[in-house]
Amino acid sequence: QSVLTQPPSVSGAPGQRVTISCTGSSSNIGALYDVHWYKQLPGRAPQLLIYGNNNRPSGVPDRISGSKSGTSASLAITGLQAEDEADYYCQSYDSRLSVVFGGGTKLTVL
């Protein structure tokens, strides 16, 4: 049972928009700690996708965005492409547990 809750899977057709939610609590996301998002391709190490709730590292396209409100955060991907098929993880800090991850969401491009 992860401290941050994500849907196990989401899917969308090419060109569509999908969102992945990340629900926390008052000791992590709700305590104003930043949320970061990672993308993991099969057999590869995770890579940073969004940091500080809504900032993109160099090289991440602007069709990928993050947001945060209250005790939740979301990752949005527009113009879905085959290369977006991967596992996605949210991560934050918890005042009781330190670094915490979501359970991960598998994105399938139909």
Rounded CA separation 66/31 (Å): 18
Give CA–CA dist 80/90, Å, rounded.
19
Closest by CA to 20, choosing from 68, 82, 92, 70, is 68
Q: Rounded to the nearest whole angstrom, what is the least distance from the CB of residue 19 to another protein in the complex?
A: 19
Residue 66 within binding range of another protein, rule CB under 8 A:
no
Other CB atoms closer than 10 Å to residue 87's CB: what's the count? 17
7 is an interface residue for another protein by CB under 8 A: no
Which span (11-19, 45-53, 62-70, 71-79) binds another protein, by CB under 8 A? Answer: 45-53
Nearest approach in angstroms of CB 108 to another protein is 16
39 part of the interface to another protein, by CB under 8 A: no
Pseudo-torsion of CA 70, 7, 90, 56, nearest 10°?
A: -90
Q: Contact residues for another protein (CB under 8 A)?
A: 2, 33-34, 36, 38, 40, 45-48, 51-52, 57, 87, 89, 91, 93, 97-104
